[in-house]
Structure 1
Amino acid sequence: MFKKTLINSALAICAILPTFLAQAGEEVNVYSYRQANLVKPLFDVFTDQTGVKVNVVFAKKGMAERLAREGIHSPADVLLTTDISRLIELKDKGLVQRVDSSTIEQAVPAHLQAEDDTWFALTTRVRNIYSSKRLGDIDISYEDLADKKWQGRICTRSGKHPYTVALVASMIAHHGETKTLEWLKGVKANLARKPQGNDRGQVQAIHQNLCDLSLGNSYYFGNMLTNKDQKEWADAVNINFPNQGDRGAHINVSGVALAKHAPNKANAIKLMEFLVSEQAQQMYAETNMEYPVREGVKVSDLVASWGKFKADSLPLTEVAKNRKAAIKLLDQAKFDL
C-alpha cells in the first residue's frame, strides 16, 4: 500500500512538473538603454497578449561590458539600444546572435537591419539642425556648419557621444576622411563654447542666446514641446532637416538584438517580432516622437506637423564601417578640447 502511494505521488508530480516548468519559463529578460517610460507600455501590452513576463534592466552605459563579464551565465535575452554605434559594438564584441525570423525581416527595411540578421532597427530619428527663430526659415546642410559665417554661433554635445560619432561616420562615407577632417576642424572653429551637455541643453543654449545653431535628434524636439519646463526652449527654435537639396538628412536608429547566450530564446524572438508589429510601432511613434520603421505606420500628429523630409538612404552598415575612423578624426581635430 505504501509503495503504491509513492508511485501514485510520483506520477502526480511528473504530471504537474512540465506545467510548472512551462510557467516558470514564461519570461524574457531585457537589457535596455531606452528609458522605462518609453518601453514599459509596450512590454505591458506584450505580456497581456502572450502571458510572457518581461523583466527589464535599464542602463545608461556599459551594456557590452556587463554582457562580456556575465558570459554564458548572462540572463539577458533581448538587447535594446539607442543608436547604431551601440548596436555595432555589441556585434563586434560577439555579444549577439543571428535571428531567423521572416516576420522581422519583412517588417524592417533592408538598409535598417544587419546583413547577417544580428540586429534590427525599431525606430529612426533625424540628426536635425536647430536654429534660433531670430534667423527665420533657413535651408542648411551639415557641410554648412563649417562655414565661417557661423563662427562662434554653434553649440553641440561631445564629439565622442555615439550620436555625433554616427554623424561623422556618415560624413566619411560621403566625403572621405580627408575632407571630413577639414570639415570637423571648421565646425570646431565655429563653436560658441566647448562641447558639453545633451541635445536638449543645446536648445536651451539657443534660448539663452549663447548660440544660433545646434545639433540634436528629432525626438527631443517633441519631448521638449510636451514638457512644461522645457517648452520655452523649444519655442525659441526652428527644427531643420539638413541636406534636403542633395542626399537627405542623416538618420540614426533605436534597435534590437538577441543576446548571444539568451536563456529564453523563443520568448525573446516573440518579443522582437511584437516590437516590429503595427501595434507596437504605432505605440513607439506616439510615445517616443520617433519615426516607425514599419511601412504604413503613421507618425504622431506632432511629428507630422514638422513636415515631410528626405532621408539619407545610405545603409547604416556603411555608416557603421566608419565608426572607428570617425573617432580617430574627432581626436585629430581635438574636437572636445
Structure 2
Amino acid sequence: MIRIRHTLALGLALLGGAAGAQAQAVLNVYSARHYQTDEAMYANFTKQTGIKINRLDGKEEELVERIKNEGASSPADVLITVDAARLEIADKAGLFQPIQSKLLDARIPASLRTPNWLAFSTRARLIVYKKNAVNADWVQSYEDLANPRLKAQVCVRSGSHPYNLSLGAAMIAHDGEAKTEAWAKGLVANFARAPKGGDTDQLKAVAAGECGVAISNSYYLARLMRSTKPEDQDVVSKLGVVWPNQKSWGTHINVSGAGVVKTAPNRDAAVRFLEYLASDEAQAYFADGNNEWPVVKSAQVKNPALDALGPFKPDTLPIGQLATNTVQAQKVFDRAGWR
C-alpha cells in the first residue's frame, strides 16, 4: 500500500489577513525506505533549507509503476529505494536523469554511483552460524556454503529476492556463470528447509537449531544486537558471524540509493536533497539509526553493534556492474532450483 506523508517543514508566515503568500519550495520524494529513524533526517533537511518534503511511501515495484503511469505529469522528484537491482530496474525503465553535482562526485566513491543514481549507505551480506554446531572454518566464503558437509544445514530466503540476486550477480562477476550455477545447485542441495521468510527469520532459525548456517544482511543482525528484548539477546548469544571471502574478493555489499526522476518538477531541490544525503550529518543517521554503513569516509559512526562486528574487506565491484548481472543471476538460480 502506498502512503503519503508530509514531513514537518517550516511554516509560511501569514501576515495579518494577507490574501496570499509566496509559495514555499517543495520536494516530492517517492520512498521505499520504511525506517522511523529517517524521519529526523527529512525534518533536518527542511530545517536547514526551508524546502518542504512531501513523501509518498510504498513498495519498490508500486512506486516504479506509479512513476511510469504518471508519465510526464509525475510530481515525483526523487526515488529512493534499497538494492542496486531495484535502482537499475528504475533506470532501465527510463525513470532517472543524469545527476550533475561536483559535491556528490567528490563525496560518493566512484564504485558506489552511476551516471543516473547513487548509493548513500551500504549493508553487507553476512554468513551466520550456530555456535557449537558448525565450525567457523567451514564457512569462510559464500562458496563454502555449497560444500556437501553442510547438507541439511543451510537456511536462506528466496532466490528471487533482490538481496540474493545481487549476491548472485556479484558471484557471476567474480567466479563466472558456470561456477555460480554449480554453487547455487550445491547450495540448494544443502538446504535445511525450503526458503521462506526474511533475514531475521533465518537468524532465528539458526539460533533455534533448525539449521546450522544462514545468509543475512548485516543490519538485521545489528538490529537484534541492539535490541533490549531478552529473546533477541538470546538469539544473538547463539550466533557466530563470519565476514565472507576475506581472502578473495571481499564481502558482498549492497546499498540504499536514490536518483532524480527524469520529469522532476523541482530538479534543483532534488539535487540539493541528494547532496544533503551525502552530508556527514545525514550519513550518521544511516549508521546510527538503521545500522548501515555510510558511504562518505569522513562520516563518523557511533553504533555499538557495527563496532562489535568489526572491520572487514568489502567487495569493490562497481555497483552498476552488480546491477546489470541480476537478470542473469535469476536465470542461474531458476536452473538450480533456488525458488
Secondary structure (helix, strand or coil) at the match of 1:30 reads strand
Q: TM-score normalized by structure 1?
A: 0.90
Per the TM alignment, residue 256 of structure 1 is displaced from its structure 2 partner at its CA by 1.1
- The CA distance in 2 between the partners of 1:239 and 1:71, in whole Å, is 46
Give the match for residue 289 of structure 1. 291
Secondary structure (helix, strand or coil) at the match of 1:230 reads helix
Q: Is the 8 A contact 2:128 2:214 kept in 1?
A: yes
- 1:29 aligned onto 2:31: no
- 1:202 aligned onto 2:202: yes
Secondary structure (helix, strand or coil) at the match of 2:125 reads strand
Per the TM alignment, residue 231 of structure 1 is displaced from its structure 2 partner at its CA by 3.1
**Aligned amino acid, residue 126 of structure 2:** N
Per the TM alignment, residue 331 of structure 1 is displaced from its structure 2 partner at its CA by 1.1
Matches within 5 A, 1:1-337: 20-21=22-23, 23=24, 26-62=25-61, 63-114=63-114, 117-134=115-132, 135=134, 137-138=136-137, 140-227=140-227, 228=229, 230-299=232-301, 300-336=303-339
More displaced, 130-139 or 186-195?
Answer: 130-139
Q: Is the 8 A contact 1:29 1:78 kept in 2?
A: yes
In percent, how many aligned pairs have the same letter?
39
Q: Is the 8 A contact 1:225 1:235 kept in 2?
A: no
Secondary structure (helix, strand or coil) at the match of 2:275 reads helix
Q: Is the 8 A contact 2:174 2:249 kept in 1?
A: no
- The CA distance in 2 between the partners of 1:233 and 1:112, in whole Å, is 33
Q: TM-score normalized by structure 2?
A: 0.90
* Residues 108-133 of structure 1, C-alpha deviations (whole Å, 9 max, x = no match): 0000000xx21011011110011112
Per the TM alignment, residue 137 of structure 1 is displaced from its structure 2 partner at its CA by 4.4
- The CA distance in 1 between the partners of 2:99 and 2:257, in whole Å, is 14
- The CA distance in 1 between the partners of 2:238 and 2:29, in whole Å, is 38
Rg: which structure is higher?
A: 1
Secondary structure (helix, strand or coil) at the match of 1:89 reads helix
Q: Is the 8 A contact 2:35 2:290 kept in 1?
A: no
Q: Number of matched residues?
A: 316
Secondary structure (helix, strand or coil) at the match of 1:20 reads coil
**Aligned amino acid, residue 167 of structure 1:** L
**Aligned amino acid, residue 189 of structure 2:** A
Q: Is the 8 A contact 1:77 1:258 kept in 2?
A: yes
Gap regions ≥5 residues in structure 2: 1-17
Give the match for residue 11 of structure 1. none
Change (3 A) 1:123 1:54: same
* Residues 192-249 of structure 1, C-alpha deviations (whole Å, 9 max, x = no match): 0001100000001012110011111111111112232533222221221101112110
More displaced, 270-279 or 29-38?
Answer: 29-38
Q: Is the 8 A contact 2:280 2:300 kept in 1?
A: no
